[in-house]
């Protein structure tokens, strides 16, 4: 043996000795994995040998119904699963799985009579013969067994002035519903369990105190004392995931509200801003729909149904009395994205966009209708530029050029703010004559659904679902009729060019 190899061997002994010392004395035992199947969650202990996390073969045998036989002469291990064999040999990083060779990150380890295999043995060997899907998720220390739906849910909370935005990145995309339960918003998933990674702290505790797991299949957003209402929407992701965006809106504030940071879905064409002239097409946008039921009242009434009902009645009234074309962004209980809603209006060259909602508050006493239009200041210089965009001549099919203006979608509403304000005042005035209004009935706010609308656009919160009296009213035919009448009146006044005095809107966000 040369000097050099003696030194190497000695060093190896020292390293081994140190490794076993630290393993025995200082290193805390690693956290177990959890084996999740449709009907159970079981822990699976992990031990570390030479820096490799390993499972005991005996534990795997019990969990996966394996039969294990040690070949005392050859020194190997034969594991039988559903009539197929996995052969392991000591000191070998190669295993044979039903006659096929696979590699492991390290050879099996032994402690007395017990055998241990690297955690990768589960996906690389066991999964091939188990006859049921097995997925190992190292970061969350999970083993998924069988066809179970266990989406990863990564949450983050951002402070945006008078808003807190909670974004849940859900992978793979999983059906879900957002609802309010007292001082919490619950995002419930149609899944067997969740694989959550939630923020330790919130940057806006007065709006969002915390985001926690709620049972096995829901995430709870604990609301803070400044909470007034919320809006939930979905943004489809690019890798089969979906982003659930919950905007938590503060009661009132003196601080400016920055615009929503999330840009509309990519791939939308630039807008054709050819003027439309008189009132020909009205788009009505019943809020929420599908799994997103919006605000829920104490008796179980939902915002999405009230919005749908009023929208249909308003459509009938406008078509019948004004002879205008009316399009709904959803006609039925369907989930529609916020940008899609604006796109429906833009693609149909609507002259007016009316979004219908009902509000929610943690305090059941809060009451009254509110009318919103988009606040422009928050959008800064870009909005000002968009509002005075130069005209461009674009080539058209068949030759020649057409004079159009091009602005990005997220600035589409900028040039209509003034007209939106006029319409909002008309709506507010008409509603005031017929139903109870909030003390701050006319407000400007950075509402996502309005941002991309290329026409005067307002959002009406018809009342508070969370107030028992208001819930009953909102579900009542007669009351809904008053709202419809008010809106028809406002649309007629708007068509006729009525401009009510500007009271100087002191809305949310200013
Ligand atoms: Zn709503």
Q: Which of 244-253, 323-332, 378-387 shows the highest mean pLDDT?
A: 323-332
Whole-number Å distance, alpha carbon 318 to ligand 1 midpoint, is 22
Residues sharing a CB contact under 8 Å with residue 159, sequence separation 6 or more, in sequence order: 203, 204, 207
60 close to 53: Cβ distance less than 8 angstroms: no
Ligand 1 centre distance from Cα of residue 394 (Å):
38
pLDDT tier at 10, thresholds 50, 70, 90: very low
Higher pLDDT, 384 or 117: 117
Comparison of pLDDT for 366 and 38, the residue scoring more:
366
Gap from CA of 404 to ligand 1 centroid (Å) = 34
Query: How close is the Cα of 444 to the center of ligand 1, in Å?
Result: 16
Spacing, Cα 442 to ligand 1 middle (Å): 16
Element (H, E) at 382: helix 380-387
Task: Report the percent of the chain where pLDDT is more than 70.
Answer: 81
Distance 275 CA to ligand 1 centre (A): 30
Q: What are phi and psi of 185, to 5 degrees?
A: -105, 130
Radius of gyration of the chain (CA): 31
pLDDT of residue 435: 96
Question: What is the CA(446)–ligand 1 centre distance, in A?
Answer: 14
Q: What are the DSSP calls for 213-249, one per residue? A: EETTTEEEEEE-TTEEEEEEEEEE-SSS-EEEEEEEE
pLDDT, residue 441, reads 93
Q: How far is the CA of 107 from the centre of ligand 1 (A)?
A: 58
**pLDDT digit string, tens, across residues 432-470:** 999 999 998 999 887 888 888 999 999 999 999 999 999
288 C-alpha to ligand 1 centroid (Å)? 6
């Amino acid at each position: 043996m040369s000097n050099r190899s003696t030194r190497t061997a000695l060093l190896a002994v020292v390293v081994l000795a140190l490794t076993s010392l630290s393993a025995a004395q200082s290193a805390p035992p690693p956290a177990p994995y959890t084996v999740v199947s449709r009907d159970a969650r079981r822990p699976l202990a992990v031990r570390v040998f030479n820096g490799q996390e390993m499972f005991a073969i005996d534990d795997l045998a019990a969990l996966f119904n394996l039969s294990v036989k040690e070949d005392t002469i050859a020194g190997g291990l034969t594991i039988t699963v559903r009539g197929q064999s996995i052969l392991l040999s000591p000191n070998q990083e190669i295993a044979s799985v039903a006659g096929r060779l696979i590699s492991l990150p390290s050879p099996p380890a032994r402690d007395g009579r017990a055998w241990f295999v690297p955690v990768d043995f589960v996906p690389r060997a066991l999964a091939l013969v188990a006859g049921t899907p097995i997925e190992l998720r190292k970061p969350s220390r999970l083993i998924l067994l069988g066809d179970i739906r266990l989406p990863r849910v990564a949450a983050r909370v951002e402070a945006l002035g008078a808003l807190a935005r909670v974004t849940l990145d859900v992978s793979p995309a999983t059906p879900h519903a957002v609802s309010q339960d007292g001082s919490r918003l619950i995002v419930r998933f149609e899944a067997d369990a969740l694989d959550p990674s939630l923020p330790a702290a919130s940057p806006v505790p007065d709006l969002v105190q915390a985001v926690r797991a709620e049972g096995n299949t829901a995430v709870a957003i604990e609301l803070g004392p400044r909470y007034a209402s919320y809006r939930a929407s979905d943004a489809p992701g690019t890798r089969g995931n979906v982003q659930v965006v919950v905007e938590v809106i503060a009661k009132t504030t003196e601080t400016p509200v920055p615009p929503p940071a999330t840009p509309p879905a990519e791939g939308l064409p630039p807008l054709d801003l050819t003027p439309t002239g008189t009132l020909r097409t009205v788009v009505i946008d019943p809020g929420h729909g599908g799994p997103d039921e919006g605000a829920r009242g104490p008796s179980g009434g939902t915002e999405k149904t009230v919005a749908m009902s009023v929208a249909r009645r308003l459509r009938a009234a406008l078509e019948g009395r004004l002879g205008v074309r009316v399009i709904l962004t959803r006609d039925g209980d369907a989930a529609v994205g916020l940008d899609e809603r604006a796109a429906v209006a833009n693609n149909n060259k609507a002259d007016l966009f009316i979004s219908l909602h009902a509000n929610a508050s943690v305090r059941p006493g809060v009451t009254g209708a509110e009318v919103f239009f988009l606040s422009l200041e928050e959008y800064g210089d870009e909005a000002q530029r968009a509002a005075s965009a130069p005209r461009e001549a674009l080539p058209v099919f068949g030759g020649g050029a057409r004079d159009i203006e091009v602005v990005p979608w997220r600035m589409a509403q900028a040039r209509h703010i003034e007209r939106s304000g006029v319409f909002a005042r008309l709506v507010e005035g008409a509603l005031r004559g017929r139903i109870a209004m909030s003390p701050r009935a006319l407000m400007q706010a950075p509402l996502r659904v309005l941002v991309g609308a290329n026409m005067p656009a307002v959002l009406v919160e018809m009342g508070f679902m969370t107030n028992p009296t208001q819930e009953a009213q909102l579900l009542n035919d007669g009351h809904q009729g008053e709202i419809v009448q008010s809106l028809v009146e406002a649309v007629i006044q708007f068509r006729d060019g009525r401009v009510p005095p500007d009271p100087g809107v002191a809305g949310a966000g200013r």
